[in-house]
A and B are shown apart, each in its own frame.
Chain A
Amino acid sequence: MHDTLRSNDWAQPAAVAIPKGGFFPDKIEQGRYGPIFPKTPACYGFSIIAKIIPGTEENFYQYARNIETAVAGKSDVLAVLKLHYLRWNLFEIKGDTYFQYMGIFDTDFDKYTEDAVAIFAATGLNTVFENLEGFPKDWKTNAAAFIKFVRDHHRPSFLEYGEYPYVSADEVKKALKLKAAFGHMLDYMQ
């Protein structure tokens, strides 16, 4: 069902209820670092929730400014992540501060994880994760430890919805470029 939707029916909004645990038991695909969380109408979602090291909250706000500057300076700095959206939150539970990182990607976490680690290490975008309790200190040289932490702290969703299901960010950008190109063409026809 999903393949048909992905290739033919992007105009038909779709919702998928996901079993407890985050996988469809009859179609679990094995990735290099473990089972791959399924693609849904909203593409590949990832949600990390982890407690921050007490007293480091300001580092998260500095991190936000760093990301803003990095993307403004080099718009493709995060391209390797194959992203649609990212959202970062801080919130409190019983006096402890928690960090939430939610992303929508066009590829499953497993495929380009090492590239993501390399990007973080190369650009200094890593600081926010280093302020999370339990994050491996040797993550720059130990991708497996980074991956384990992220997988351990991922909270799979149980419902996902897509207004234009399964469409990638590149496809959206292509469609908008095409629209712009047609606009220019019509201008030249005047």
Chain B
Amino acid sequence: MLELDDIQHFLMARPHAMVARYEFLSFKQPAGGRAWVGGIIDKVGVASVVRAASETESRWVTVAFTWNGLRALGVDEDSLASFPDEFRQGMVARAEVLGDTGQNDPANWVDGTASPELHAIAILFARDIPERERCRAEHGQFLAQCPGVEVISSLDLEATPPFEYAHDHFGYRDRLSLPAIEGLGGDVPTPGSGHPLKPGEFFLGYPDENGPTNGLPKPEILSRNGSFVAYRRLEEHVGKFRDFLKQHGETPGEQELIAAKLMGRWRSGAPLVLAPEKDDPELGADRQRNNNFDYGKMDPHGYAAPLGSHIRRMNPRDTAANMNRRRMIRRGGTYGPALPEGAPDDGVERGIASFVGCASLIRQFEFAQNVWVNDKNFHELGNERDPIIGTQDGTLEYKIPKRPIRKKITGLPSFTSVRGGAYFFLPGLKALRWLAALGESQPTN
């Protein structure tokens, strides 16, 4: 039985929030860090409360810690050593595995998240911008009362227009394919999404798709109901993307098709497998239909969705083995101002700042990043990476199967750049109380 009163809402339930603010924190003194944790616990939304909340309740906080952050709070060495290697090393040390090289190298990150001084993140959700500003001020006042807790950087998240549905700055509809979790109740997976997955794929302390789990971080009170999350701040080069579409499509219709071929879906969300010739916005918006397809039987050669298209890499569905061990829960949103259609690139940073939640960074997130996104020979493609988020250096290509002769685009540019990132541990509420009380006499469970 999932302990919804203890699990943070973040990966389970979206709050009714249109905006958010990420604050990246450093603890200069353990006691100050623990005071911050202890003071913010009551604001942290748990799954049961956020799921039941009305639309007017939207002031929730999510908190998570880097491995260095757990150490800075005073977690003992035995416990620290029990965390998985990749989490202990952190995202910067895993840069080559993740493809964070060249322009994506952590040396080029802009938000201080590459620093070992990064210890925690606080995510402040709010209904609208004035409410967020109030939360920011309130959190600022609270931080001032916690000695040695400093804000390294922050990022404001806002939906981009049009606001009818979630989409990124390129215009692609988002949040279309997310796994359902067994035991949540009332959550019927949309057709094509597969059966609900065992909670242990995302939350520590529960059986996963392989059965009971072992080797979790110690003590149990710290790890149970926790998750690992990988943070990625991805700048989207909207001007470059639009120029590319114009370069490869003479008419607006052809440009839309090129955009769809990169993603595997039309920007409306309609999957190419179900709408190969023409966009179908009604299909794109219909959750009962827009995810109901496979690749092996319906599009084995990629004539609809190219073999290297973004959604075909990030969720190969029936064409990958062991898919239920690779699923992840994605959260996050867009930042930066929208670039109006037809406007030249203004040089302002805009993009997506998202979190990938899972029980094992190496098996889930790092596999996806290393193999699905950046393996040049994925699906025998030879010289390609993910066209949207893969590491591009100008030497790679993108192939669009087409009868009688495929279209091959050479020298694919990078439409995105990594601007920040980190591995965090997202503890349950009991774990937060345990962290806040470190140094005092401890509850054992």
Q: Do A and B come from one complex?
A: yes
Q: With both chains docked as a complex, state the minimum distance between the C-beta of B252 and any C-beta of chain A, in angstroms.
A: 35
- B321 and A119: CB pair below 8 A? yes
Cα of A102 to Cα of B362 in the assembled complex, Å: 26
Q: With both chains docked as a complex, state the minimum distance between the C-beta of A26 and any C-beta of chain B, in angstroms.
A: 14
Cα of A168 to Cα of B378 in the assembled complex, Å: 12
- B370 and A138: CB pair below 8 A? no
- A142 and B214: CB pair below 8 A? yes
Q: With both chains docked as a complex, state the minimum distance between the C-beta of A27 and any C-beta of chain B, in angstroms.
A: 12
Contacts A7-B383, A118-B322 hold; do A32 and B362 have CB atoms under 8 A apart?
Answer: yes
Contact with B along A35-57 (1 / 0, CB 8 A): 00000000000000000000000
Q: With both chains docked as a complex, state the minimum distance between the C-beta of B361 and any C-beta of chain A, in angstroms.
A: 9
In the A-B complex, the 4 residue pairs with the smallest Cβ-Cβ separation, listed nearest first, are A80-B321, A30-B96, A115-B322, A115-B321
Q: Is A59 part of the contact surface with B, judged by Cβ < 8 Å?
A: no
Q: Is B371 part of the contact surface with A, judged by Cβ < 8 Å?
A: yes
- B382 and A141: CB pair below 8 A? no
Of the stretches A14-22, A64-72, A106-114, A149-157, the one at the interface is: A106-114
Q: Is B186 part of the contact surface with A, judged by Cβ < 8 Å?
A: no
Q: Which residue of B lies closest to A145 (CB)?
A: B215
Cα of A119 to Cα of B322 in the assembled complex, Å: 9
In the bound complex, residues from chain A placing their C-beta under 8 Å from that of B325 are 114, 118
In the bound complex, residues from chain B placing their C-beta under 8 Å from that of A92 are none
Q: Is A29 part of the contact surface with B, judged by Cβ < 8 Å?
A: yes
Please report A residues at the B interface, Cβ cutoff 8 Å.
6-7, 29-33, 79-80, 106-107, 110-112, 114-115, 118-119, 121, 138, 140-144, 168, 170-171
- A138 and B214: CB pair below 8 A? yes
- A32 and B97: CB pair below 8 A? yes
In the bound complex, residues from chain B placing their C-beta under 8 Å from that of A112 are 321, 371
Contacts A7-B382, A140-B210 hold; do A118 and B96 have CB atoms under 8 A apart?
Answer: no
Q: With both chains docked as a complex, state the minimum distance between the C-beta of B204 and any C-beta of chain A, in angstroms.
A: 14
Which residues in chain B, 31-70, are within 8 Å of chain A measured between CB atoms?
none
Q: With both chains docked as a complex, state the minimum distance between the C-beta of B436 and any C-beta of chain A, in angstroms.
A: 31
Q: Is B164 part of the contact surface with A, judged by Cβ < 8 Å?
A: no
Contact with B322, one of A6, A114, A141 (Cβ below 8 angstroms): A114
- B322 and A32: CB pair below 8 A? no
Cα of A143 to Cα of B377 in the assembled complex, Å: 24
- A31 and B97: CB pair below 8 A? yes
Q: Is B212 part of the contact surface with A, judged by Cβ < 8 Å?
A: yes
In the bound complex, residues from chain B placing their C-beta under 8 Å from that of A142 are 214-215
In the bound complex, residues from chain B placing their C-beta under 8 Å from that of A170 are 380
In the bound complex, residues from chain A placing their C-beta under 8 Å from that of B367 are 32, 114
Contacts A7-B382, A168-B380 hold; do A32 and B370 have CB atoms under 8 A apart?
Answer: yes
Q: With both chains docked as a complex, state the minimum distance between the C-beta of B283 and any C-beta of chain A, in angstroms.
A: 32
Contact with A along B361-376 (1 / 0, CB 8 A): 0110011001100010
Cα of A170 to Cα of B378 in the assembled complex, Å: 12
- B377 and A32: CB pair below 8 A? no
* Interface-central residue, B215, B321, B370, B371, by most chain A CB under 10 Å: B321
- B380 and A111: CB pair below 8 A? no
Cα of A54 to Cα of B175 in the assembled complex, Å: 55
- B363 and A141: CB pair below 8 A? no
Contact with A along B282-321 (1 / 0, CB 8 A): 0000000000000000000000000000000000000001
What is the interface size of chain B, counting residues whose CB is below 8 A from a CB of the partner?
23
Q: Which residue of A lies closest to B364 (CB)?
A: A114
In the bound complex, residues from chain A placing their C-beta under 8 Å from that of B380 are 168, 170-171
In the bound complex, residues from chain A placing their C-beta under 8 Å from that of B96 are 29-30
Return 28 A-B CB contacts under 8 Å, by A number. A7-B383, A30-B97, A31-B97, A31-B370, A32-B86, A32-B362, A32-B366, A32-B370, A33-B362, A79-B321, A80-B322, A107-B377, A111-B370, A112-B371, A114-B322, A115-B321, A118-B322, A118-B325, A119-B321, A138-B214, A140-B210, A141-B214, A141-B215, A142-B214, A143-B363, A168-B377, A170-B380, A171-B380
Contacts A138-B214, A141-B214 hold; do A114 and B375 have CB atoms under 8 A apart?
Answer: no
Beyond known contacts A121-B210, A141-B211, A171-B380: 15 more, CB 8 A cutoff: A30-B96, A32-B366, A80-B321, A106-B377, A114-B367, A118-B210, A118-B325, A140-B210, A141-B210, A141-B213, A142-B214, A143-B363, A144-B362, A168-B377, A170-B380
- B212 and A141: CB pair below 8 A? yes
Cα of A47 to Cα of B366 in the assembled complex, Å: 26
- B383 and A111: CB pair below 8 A? no
Q: Which residue of B lies closest to A29 (CB)?
A: B96
Cα of A119 to Cα of B362 in the assembled complex, Å: 19
Q: With both chains docked as a complex, state the minimum distance between the C-beta of B265 and any C-beta of chain A, in angstroms.
A: 26
- A118 and B362: CB pair below 8 A? no
Q: Which residue of A lies closest to B363 (CB)?
A: A114
Q: With both chains docked as a complex, state the minimum distance between the C-beta of B28 and any C-beta of chain A, in angstroms.
A: 32
Cα of A166 to Cα of B362 in the assembled complex, Å: 28
Q: With both chains docked as a complex, state the minimum distance between the C-beta of A74 and any C-beta of chain B, in angstroms.
A: 13
In the bound complex, residues from chain B placing their C-beta under 8 Å from that of A7 are 382-383
Cα of A118 to Cα of B211 in the assembled complex, Å: 12
Q: With both chains docked as a complex, state the minimum distance between the C-beta of A37 and any C-beta of chain B, in angstroms.
A: 15
* Interface-central residue, A138, A141, A171, by most chain B CB under 10 Å: A141
Q: With both chains docked as a complex, state the minimum distance between the C-beta of B358 and any C-beta of chain A, in angstroms.
A: 13
In the bound complex, residues from chain B placing their C-beta under 8 Å from that of A171 are 380
In the bound complex, residues from chain A placing their C-beta under 8 Å from that of B371 are 111-112
In the bound complex, residues from chain A placing their C-beta under 8 Å from that of B375 are 111
Cα of A138 to Cα of B363 in the assembled complex, Å: 17
Q: With both chains docked as a complex, state the minimum distance between the C-beta of A170 and any C-beta of chain B, in angstroms.
A: 5
Which residues in chain B, 379-398, are within 8 Å of chain A measured between CB atoms?
380, 382-383
